């Protein structure tokens, strides 16, 4: 006896998955930056030094006087001589007025007028010590700075972001099937 034979043939189902990856691009534009540094301002005030040397007393000590100094000295000596002459004549007049008191004032006065003045001589420093006057004012230097802060301008830009979402397609690549054959 022949038994029927059953043959089963099956095909599995297959799923097909197609993916498209997501993409992300980020671009950062550079910032706009400007920097400006104003120049510093500098002012300099200078008072120059001053040296004064007065040697007129030293020149006078060695008899190198200016015309003005000679005139002043002569005028002063003239005034002093006039004052001495007036005083001497007043004294001599007093002596002559009192001639009755005795003595010989006329002879004494004549003797005094014929005396040769004594010359003075001495050793000393020519010119005298300290006769040159020196005065010195040192110079002054004032430096002033005015510093300006830098001027910085910056402008940032937002990033440029591009995003493409991914896709997933699922489809049946092969449908499942089942074939049954019965053979005798």
Domains: count for the chain = 2
Task: Give the mean pLDDT of the chain.
Answer: 87
Do residue 50 and residue 140 come from a single domain? yes
Domain that holds residue 98: 41-147
Buried b (16+ CB within 10 A) or exposed e, 75-102: eeeeeeeeeeeeeeeeebeeeeeeeeee
Do residue 20 and residue 98 come from a single domain? no
Beta bridge partners of 50: 137
| pLDDT value at residue 121 | 67
Do residue 45 and residue 114 come from a single domain? yes
Length of the chain: 184
Do residue 82 and residue 152 come from a single domain? no
Per-residue pLDDT tens over the stretch 9-55: 999 989 999 999 999 999 999 999 999 999 999 999 999 999 999 88
Do residue 22 and residue 84 come from a single domain? no
Do residue 56 and residue 128 come from a single domain? yes
Instruction: Report phi then psi at 137, rounded to 5.
Output: -110, 115
Q: Label residue 59 exposed, middle or buried (CB < 10 Å: 0-12, 13-18, 19+).
A: middle
The whole-model pTM stands at 0.37
């Amino acid at each position: 006896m022949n038994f029927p034979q059953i043959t089963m043939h099956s095909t599995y189902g297959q799923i097909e998955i197609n993916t498209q990856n997501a993409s992300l691009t980020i671009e950062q534009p550079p910032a706009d930056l400007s920097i400006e540094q104003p120049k510093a301002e500098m002012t300099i005030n200078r008072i120059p030094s001053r040296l004064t040397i007065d040697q007129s007393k030293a020149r006078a000590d060695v008899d190198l006087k200016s015309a003005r100094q000679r005139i002043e000295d002569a005028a002063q000596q003239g005034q002093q001589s006039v004052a001495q002459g007036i005083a001497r004549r007043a004294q001599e007049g007093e002596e002559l007025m009192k001639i009755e008191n005795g003595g010989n004032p006329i002879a004494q006065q004549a003797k005094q007028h014929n005396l040769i003045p004594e010359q003075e001589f001495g050793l000393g420093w020519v010119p005298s010590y300290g006769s040159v006057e020196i005065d010195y004012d040192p110079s002054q230097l004032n430096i002033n700075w005015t510093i300006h802060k830098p001027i910085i301008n910056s402008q940032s830009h937002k990033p440029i972001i591009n995003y493409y979402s991914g896709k997933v397609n699922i489809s049946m690549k092969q449908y499942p099937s089942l074939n049954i054959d019965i053979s005798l």
